[in-house]
Amino acid sequence: MEPNELTIHELQAMLRDGTTKAVDIAGSVFKRIDAVEGAVHSYITLLKDAAFQAAEASDRNIREGTIAALTGIPVAIKDNMCTVGVPTTCGSRILENFTSPYDATVVKKMRDAGAVIIGKTNMDEFAMGSSTETSFFGITRNPWDLERVPGGSSGGSAAAVAADMCIAALGSDTGGSIRQPASHCGVVGLKPTYGRVSRYGLVAFASSLDQIGPLTKDVEDCAIMLNVIAGYDPKESTSVPAPVPDYRSFAGRDIAGWKVGIPKEYFVAGIDPDVRAAIEGVMKIIEDLGAECREISLPHTDYCVAIYYIIAPSEASSNLARYDGVRYGYRAKGDGELLDMYKQSRSAGFGAEVKRRIMIGTYALSAGYYDAYYKKASQVRMLLRRDFDSAFESCDVILTPTSPVPAFRIGEKTDDPLQMYLSDIFTLSTNLAGVPGIVVPCGFTSKRLPVGAQFMAGHFEEGKLIQVASACERHLAATKRRPAL
């Protein structure tokens, strides 16, 4: 196998025993990028020269006996995380020429851990989308079927990992934007507890929902990445000073005696039969491992889509008000009045989906409607959180499908925003409740499209997610199969 096809932990062992070098790993990754990036389009910006310089520095550190958690490992960064001296576009025209003056906390942690940053990945504009079709820089295609979407909004990161164009990647998750593309691309994706990973330097979409997490080739790699990025950050007001365990130590433990909740609200009409069969296969594995699957109820699940599409657009409306063409970003040409310049810059700078959500959010926050919409949605959100608190009193983790359907065809849902929004129906609840969720590949459809199983756990119980996902992964062949690009 080529180095770009291996996992973090496999490459770490090879770097330590001298059977490979960081520059050779980087070379393998860029060779793969040269071969398939034209078909997939995972990246907005590639950093080849800087990556080889970092790889050479990694090799020097290894020779000197200094090896950090990610020394010499090529990683990709979603293009909504600030990276000093590098464009940070958020997939939008309004930021196409913006270069960040500082590193996001997670990017700094990646560098401090010795990672080799390969480039910035494509995404739905401002993370608003479920298919990576709304990017100003063009669509990303699913490596398993180039006529299908990779999911979104972290579709570039998921596709890059699946296509072996990096070893691991960072994404962000506001309503499923790590987990849904992980499922569609056949990789592992984890959304941590809200406050577990710093959002400092993450360009905001919906501040009470956004969270950064890893996309990797297997569960152990996910734990390695989470070890690096988790922890308190005094620069970020919602960062929680909770102890950070060694998440890698949870991989490989058994789950005998566990109670796994199966919420009846997530197994309804409309789920693709192949998706249902794959999740039922995971239930059987869980029981074979000595755990018990039991039916539970999350009674406010039916309100998730409505809650989310009030809260998220409202916060987006507020967060995106700063893009006015004055201080930075795209500015429309013309000699008109200041207000005209604002209107023209925002009209030309934002895409259709972003403008749709800004308008929805502005309406929900407007005088006379705030109490009826945003305030009411926030109140129901607390009821949903209590559903989860109650459920975790009787079970260790919850198992659900990640998406009701596998990856859909490019263009299939672009003219029907509601159908696009419903594709995240099983992932929105974790963001609204602030709990962590992980997706692990669990099978394939009859058309050879990946399916991912989603596990959820209580606040700051990412260790449990690593444990159960790792236990299931050992009995699933899905993580070992790669797309035949």
- Cβ-based neighbours of 236, under 8 Å, separated by 6 or more: 105, 198, 199, 200
48 is catalytic: no
Sequence-separated contacts (24+) of 132-138 with Cβ below 8 Å: 132/156, 132/159, 132/181, 133/410, 133/411, 133/414, 134/91, 134/351, 134/352, 134/353, 134/354, 135/44, 135/91, 136/89, 136/91, 136/92, 136/93, 136/96, 136/351, 137/44, 137/89, 137/91, 137/96, 138/41
Phi-psi domain of 114 (left: phi exceeds 0; alpha: psi -120 through 50; beta: other): left
Identified catalytic residue from 21, 78, 108, 120? 78
Active-site residue, 78 included: yes
Rg (CA), the chain: 21
Sheet of 211-216, strand order: 43-46, 116-121, 74-78, 168-173, 211-216, 188-191, 437-444, 450-456, 397-401, 259-263, 292-296
Identified catalytic residue from 153, 157, 403, 429 = 153
Host H or E run for residue 33: helix 22-40
Helix (H) or strand (E) holding 456: strand 450-456
Q: Nearest 5°: phi and psi at 187?
A: -125, 175
Q: Bridge partners of 120?
A: 45, 77
Q: Between helices 273-288 and 462-473, what is the axis angle to 10°?
A: 100
DSSP structure class, residue 47? -
CA atoms within 13 A on the CB side of 73: 33
Q: Which residues pair with 296 in a beta bridge?
A: 263
Question: How long is the chain?
Answer: 485
The CA-based angle 482-192-474, given to 5 degrees, is 40
Query: Which residue among the candidates 131, 154, 177, 345 is catalytic per the annotation?
Result: 177
Going by C-beta distance under 8 Å and a sequence separation of 6 or more, which residues neighbour residue 49?
none
Of the candidates 48, 128, 117, the residue with the CA atom closest to the CA atom of residue 91: 128
Known active-site residue 177? yes
Residues β-bridged to residue 76: 119, 169
- Residues labelled as active-site residues: 78, 153, 177
